[in-house]
């Protein structure tokens, strides 16, 4: 039986939103850290926001104070709650009602207010148009989007002229690898919106969960991302490709952790027999401005 991709993805995210951050032994979504005054934003995410908003190394979120921030596809909302604590007026938008309820619960525990909007990110409501100084998107968002042109237009519609778009995403090259050991398996296309549908149990943050879902992911290349952002009326300021990562976003063994604690995508070998290859890109940071 075939399943509508949007319905299948929503089903997955409703189940994930009810499960993530619940198991106290999991390394993912450690809200106790946020409630204690910390953040789940990675150094890469903090640097991106600092660069876009005028934050500093010591206080990367200093620039969000007094700003209107849209956290698009916010999942459980932790980064939005942290930005609200830093003085931003934050709206979290997601298509999962359960995720938004969990985000409100976290905000209440931290003692900040956030607005939540249940919406398909390919068609945000007019009430969000032209309202934001910053649209923030991070890790694992655009792979759920079939029509990236339409999605980028929503980002552009949400921003005020001069508003900034910050996206930290999984690099499309890394996305292609199902696994890298004991053998390399590449099962995902590079771009053009091509899709892969899969039925699996659990999720990246709840691998032992017993629920099953059928999800569809879409491939967007670097060229797709840049072209569609520009076509939507965004000026690209920075496109940075990261060959090291502070986190292992998939929680599997496809990245190798070095002595410096950083994760790298290492395929094949270097010049010399037995030598390490040069690392391939794992993440990207896109900073853009609404013109």
Ligand X SMILES: C[S@@+](CC[C@H](N)C(=O)[O-])C[C@H]1O[C@@H](n2cnc3c(N)ncnc32)[C@H](O)[C@@H]1O
Task: Using CB under 6 A, list all residues that contact ligand X.
Answer: 9, 13, 73, 75-76, 79, 94-96, 99, 120-122, 138-141, 144
Q: Which residues contact 252 (CB under 8 A, 6 or more apart)?
A: 179
Minimum CB–partner distance for residue 248 and ligand X (Å): 14
- d(C-alpha 106, C-alpha 182), whole Å: 40
Identity of the residue, 266 or 282, whose beta carbon is nearer to ligand X in the bound complex: 282
Alpha-carbon distances of 76 from 14, 94, 230, 273, rounded to whole Å: 11, 9, 29, 46
- In the complex, residue closest to ligand X by CB: 140
Minimum CB–partner distance for residue 166 and ligand X (Å): 12
Identity of the residue, 137 or 266, whose beta carbon is nearer to ligand X in the bound complex: 137
Minimum CB–partner distance for residue 226 and ligand X (Å): 21
Is 60 within 8 Å of 42 (Cβ atoms)? no
Minimum CB–partner distance for residue 273 and ligand X (Å): 39
Identity of the residue, 39 or 180, whose beta carbon is nearer to ligand X in the bound complex: 39
Identity of the residue, 146 or 240, whose beta carbon is nearer to ligand X in the bound complex: 146
Pairing relationship of beta strands 68-72 and 132-138 according to DSSP bridges: parallel
Identity of the residue, 242 or 267, whose beta carbon is nearer to ligand X in the bound complex: 242
Minimum CB–partner distance for residue 118 and ligand X (Å): 9
Is 165 within 8 Å of 133 (Cβ atoms)? no
Identity of the residue, 73 or 156, whose beta carbon is nearer to ligand X in the bound complex: 73
> Which SS3 state, helix, strand or coil, does residue 65 take?
coil
Identity of the residue, 205 or 288, whose beta carbon is nearer to ligand X in the bound complex: 205
Opening angle at CA 80, ends 75 and 82, nearest 5: 125
Minimum CB–partner distance for residue 124 and ligand X (Å): 9
The number of residues making up the chain comes to 291
Q: Which residues contact 99 (CB under 8 A, 6 or more apart)?
A: 13, 17, 74, 75, 76, 77
Q: Which residues contact 188 (CB under 8 A, 6 or more apart)?
A: 175, 176, 177, 178, 196, 217, 219
- d(C-alpha 261, C-alpha 179), whole Å: 20
- d(C-alpha 13, C-alpha 203), whole Å: 9
Backbone dihedral region for residue 25 (phi beyond 0: left; psi -120 to 50: alpha; all else: beta): alpha
Identity of the residue, 71 or 177, whose beta carbon is nearer to ligand X in the bound complex: 71
Minimum CB–partner distance for residue 196 and ligand X (Å): 15
Minimum CB–partner distance for residue 5 and ligand X (Å): 10
């Amino acid at each position: 039986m075939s399943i509508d991709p949007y319905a299948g993805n929503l089903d997955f995210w409703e189940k994930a939103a009810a499960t993530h951050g619940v198991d106290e032994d999991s390394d993912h979504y450690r809200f106790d850290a946020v409630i204690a005054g910390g953040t789940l934003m990675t150094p890469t995410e903090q640097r991106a926001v600092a660069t876009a908003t005028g934050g500093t190394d010591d206080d990367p979120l200093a620039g969000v104070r007094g700003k209107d921030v849209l956290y698009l596809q916010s999942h459980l909302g932790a980064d939005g709650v942290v930005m609200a604590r830093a003085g931003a007026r934050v709206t979290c938008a997601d298509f999962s009602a359960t995720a938004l309820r969990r985000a409100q619960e976290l905000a209440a525990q931290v003692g900040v207010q956030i607005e939540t909007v249940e919406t398909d990110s390919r068609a945000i409501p007019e009430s969000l148009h032209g309202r934001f100084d910053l649209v923030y998107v991070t890790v694992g968002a655009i792979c759920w989007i079939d029509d990236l042109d339409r999605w980028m237009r929503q980002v552009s519609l949400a921003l005020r002229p001069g508003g900034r778009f910050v996206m930290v995403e999984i690099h499309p090259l890394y996305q292609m690898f199902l696994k890298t050991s004991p053998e390399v398996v590449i099962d995902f296309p590079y771009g053009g919106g091509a899709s892969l549908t899969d039925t699996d149990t659990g999720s990246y943050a709840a691998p032992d969960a017993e629920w099953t879902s059928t999800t569809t992911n879409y491939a967007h290349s670097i060229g797709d991302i840049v072209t569609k952002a520009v076509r939507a009326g965004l000026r690209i300021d920075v496109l940075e490709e990261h060959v090291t990562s502070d986190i292992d976003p998939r929680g599997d063994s496809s990245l190798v952790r070095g002595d410096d604690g950083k994760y790298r995508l290492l395929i094949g070998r270097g010049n010399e027999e037995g030598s390490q290859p040069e690392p391939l890109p794992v993440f990207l940071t896109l900073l853009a401005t609404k013109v």
